[in-house]
Amino acid sequence: MEILFMTFIDILNSLPQRSHHIIDFLKERYDLTVLFCRYNESGVFNKKDGKTKYIGIPVKFYDLFNPMTLYNAYTEINKESYDICIAQGPWMGIVAVEFKKSGKINLLAYEDIDYFPDFFQYEEIYNSTRNMEKFCIENADVTFSVNRYLIKLREEQTGITPYYIPNGVKFNIFQKREKEHEGLCLIFSGSLEHWSGLELPIKVLPALRREFKEVYVRVLGKGHYEAALKKLVADLKIDDYIHFYGKVEYNDLPYYFSMADIGLCTLFPTELINYSFPLKAVEYMAAGLPVVATDMGELGDLIKKNKCGITITYSYTDLLEKLIMLLNNPDKLRSMGSNGLKAAEMYDWKNLFEKELNIILQKLE
């Protein structure tokens, strides 16, 4: 079985995402080719590792909206055909549709992993991305969405109901082994972007420390908003209580989580968040950490349904009051952490991807 996996994500330079996890799953089971975008000047990446081929194509932003640019660049390097193509995101999805038309792939599975138009402020790009998403779903043999609200949106747009395969976690490596640590640690893991919403807990920290002198924050990750967040920390004169660790390897996350008390998922409320399924939420849960999350979309539903944390309205007052309530109630913290741990097992990546591949193989028959 020959599988082509296509993603617009630069897998060499990005934080661990769904792309990395599905690659790990597929390469253990199939002959796999991974086609991905590179957003630097390093040229084409072409490497084989065992039975897995990796091909990275350098692109500029505008190339993403011209599918033939990627199509031509890739077909010059690789002439092979594939039984299955799994494409992530509208930019690679639309290239995959061209591959299907040319007979390069037999079956196209599209992974609908975010509401991508909301990444862009300009109306023309927003509308173009929205139309590309719709086109991919209408022309794929099967579509998988990570969020139930996103599924409803796709039904309204296309009349097609995608299968639900949410984001997940490598459950076994996150089993919390509590380590001794000083004070009370709030931890954030993920991309440092405006939509990540980290500035809210940063702003709350001075007031929170007036109630709990031992509280501090650890930040794991990188992103375009990092400099702005560090400036905010400096302006508030709380450099000693917020520590930035940069990009952390996925297998090292459990170590840091085991020395924390609460996981922060206070994402900025936008359309993007309403249709997302944040990996960090189930990673915190798998580590037995209670989660503080924005009450929006499936993120809010996840926390409330499983009673594994608290949800907020993304306001200074609400976050401060609820953090004080939680930190004053260690029994509630333990109960929420335990609930999250029990719920997280159903989001194990292996189980999710097995379900997805079974559906794909049934379609192939």
Considering the domain architecture, whether residues 26 and 92 belong to the same structural domain is answered as yes
* pLDDT, position 57: 92
Distance CA 194, CA 212 (A): 27
- Which residue reads 């299955």 in tokens? 84
Distance CA 281, CA 303 (A): 8
Q: What type of residue is 291?
A: V
**What band does 261 get if pLDDT is binned at 50, 70 and 90?**
very high
Considering the domain architecture, whether residues 222 and 127 belong to the same structural domain is answered as no
Considering the domain architecture, whether residues 264 and 223 belong to the same structural domain is answered as yes
* pLDDT, position 3: 97
Q: Are 88 and 8 in contact (CB under 8 A)?
A: yes
Task: Choose between 178 and 120: higher pLDDT.
Answer: 120
* pLDDT, position 42: 75
* pLDDT, position 63: 83
Task: Choose between 72 and 109: higher pLDDT.
Answer: 109
Distance CA 131, CA 129 (A): 5
Considering the domain architecture, whether residues 155 and 201 belong to the same structural domain is answered as no
* pLDDT, position 273: 93
Considering the domain architecture, whether residues 239 and 310 belong to the same structural domain is answered as yes
**What band does 176 get if pLDDT is binned at 50, 70 and 90?**
low
Considering the domain architecture, whether residues 126 and 197 belong to the same structural domain is answered as no
**What band does 67 get if pLDDT is binned at 50, 70 and 90?**
confident
* pLDDT, position 165: 98
Considering the domain architecture, whether residues 17 and 141 belong to the same structural domain is answered as yes
Give the single-character DSSP code of 147: -
The CATH number linked to 68 is: 3.40.50.2000
**Is residue 264 scored above 80 in pLDDT?**
yes
Instruction: Over range 165-175, report the average pLDDT.
Output: 93
* pLDDT, position 295: 97
Mean pLDDT, the chain, rounded, equals: 94
Interstrand relation of 45-49 and 52-58 (parallel, antiparallel or unpaired): antiparallel
State how many domains the chain has: 2
**Is residue 258 scored above 70 in pLDDT?**
yes
Q: Could you report the per-residue pLDDT of 343-352, keeping only the tens digit for each?
A: 999 999 999 9
pTM: predicted TM-score of the whole model, two decimal places: 0.93
* pLDDT, position 178: 60
Q: Could you report the per-residue pLDDT of 285-339, keeping only the tens digit for each?
A: 999 999 999 999 999 999 999 999 999 999 999 999 999 999 999 999 999 999 9
Instruction: Over range 51-59, report the average pLDDT.
Output: 94
Q: Look up the domain containing 324 and give its range.
A: 171-347
Between the alpha carbon of residue 300 and those of residues 114, 190, 215, 260, 266, the distances in Å are 16, 18, 25, 21, 10
Considering the domain architecture, whether residues 338 and 357 belong to the same structural domain is answered as no
Q: Are 242 and 219 in contact (CB under 8 A)?
A: yes
Considering the domain architecture, whether residues 177 and 156 belong to the same structural domain is answered as no
